[in-house]
Amino acid sequence: MEQVDGGASAAVAPGVDETGLPIIRIIGELDISNVALIEDQLAALVDDAARPLTFDLSSLTFMDSSGLAMLLRTADQTGPIVIRQPTGTVRRIIQATGLTDVLRVEA
Amino acid sequence: MTAERDFPYAFAAVTQARHYVLDMLNGIGDMVAGDAAVMVSELATNSVRHAATGFTVSVDRTTEQITVAVADPGPGEPRMRAPKPTDGSGRGLRIVNALADEWGVHTNSGPGKSVWFTIANIDERFSKGGNGRGATR
């Protein structure tokens, strides 16, 4: 994982789920310190990824509104995004901000 | 227990402030720690983005509740907004409002303000969450 000057560490990588469908994994912590770096890495994967764009966030230990904004900018290009296995807090901030139509949470 | 620490004007200070609060809340249970982490991250992000200054984080922890405050010398009172899905920002205080039991803003006589939040009934959350501390009662 890459870290930005004492800030958060995260990584983004393409993968497949247990049924062979393509997904994108984000692992680590996502906040204002590293969101630009991760968004650049994500942009390189999005064009070739299947739709709906599906993220596995089971190993994303932290995300705040900076990360939500990144996902929303991505959804603006790709259409609604599927979010799999978010932590409880990530699930709650998606609900609290009324974004469940754009960021569709699956168990 | 009360503690506070100053953080510099830097994006990385948001990460460091969050880790500081998580250290202060060591052992408290995942849900409370996770919610406190996201709220302090939102408030610290607001200080860095809008006040464009360093900030001070204080943590007050009792057996019943935690109170966390983020103070900065920037002018103006933060407002909760209602961004559309396409808006790139404006969700921080909405998240705090949803996750906190209470939150508010203290303004000083001079410039600057402190935005605080509480998470209450921590013992009760432990029991409901099946945490070992509740089970020993």
Closest CA–CA distance from residue B12 to any residue of chain A (Å)? 4
Q: Which residues of chain A are within 8 Å of residue B18 when distances are taken between CB atoms?
A: 31, 62
Q: What does DSSP assign to residue B108?
A: P
Amino acid letter, B107: T
What is the pLDDT of chain A when averaged over all its residues?
A: 94
CA distance B52 to A10: 25
Q: How many Cβ pairs closer than 8 A exist between chain A and B?
A: 93
Which residue of chain B is at minimal alpha-carbon distance from A80?
Answer: B85
CA distance B9 to A33: 12
Q: CB distance A31–B41 less than 8 Å? A: yes
Whole-prediction pTM:
0.92
Query: Which ipTM value was assigned to this complex?
Result: 0.94
Contact check, Cβ <8 Å, A4/B12: yes
Query: Choosing among A3, A9, A32, which should be mutated to test the B contact, i.e. which has the most B CBs within 10 A?
Result: A32
User: Which amino acid is present at A85?
Assistant: Q
Q: Is residue B135's pLDDT more than 60?
A: no
The residue written with tokens 């966030």 in the block is A57
Contacts with A, B 25-54, CB within 8 Å:
30-31, 34-35, 37-38, 41-42, 45, 48-49
> CATH assignment of A2-106, given 1.10.1060.10, 3.40.50.2000, 3.30.750.24, 3.40.50.170?
3.30.750.24
Largest interatomic CA distance in chain B: 48
Please answer yes or no on whether A31 and B14 come within 8 Å at the CB atom: yes
Provide the mean pLDDT of chain B.
89
Q: Where are the domains of chain A?
A: 2-106
Instruction: Give per-residue pLDDT as tens, A33-51.
Output: 999 999 999 999 998 888 9
Option in A6, A7, A62 nearest B37 (CB): A62
Task: Please answer yes or no on whether A88 and B38 come within 8 Å at the CB atom.
Answer: no
Residue B68 phi/psi, 5-degree rounding, is: -125, 135
Rounded CA gap, B109 and B128, in Å? 42
Radius of gyration of chain B (CA): 15
Judged by CB atoms closer than 8 Å, whether chains meet at A31 and B37 is answered as no
Q: What pLDDT, in 10s, does the model give residues A1-22?
A: 877 788 999 999 999 999 999 9
CA distance B66 to B117: 8
At B125, is the pLDDT very low, low, confident or very high (cuts 50, 70, 90)? Answer: low
Q: Which of A4, A75, A88 sits opposite B31 (nearest CB)?
A: A88
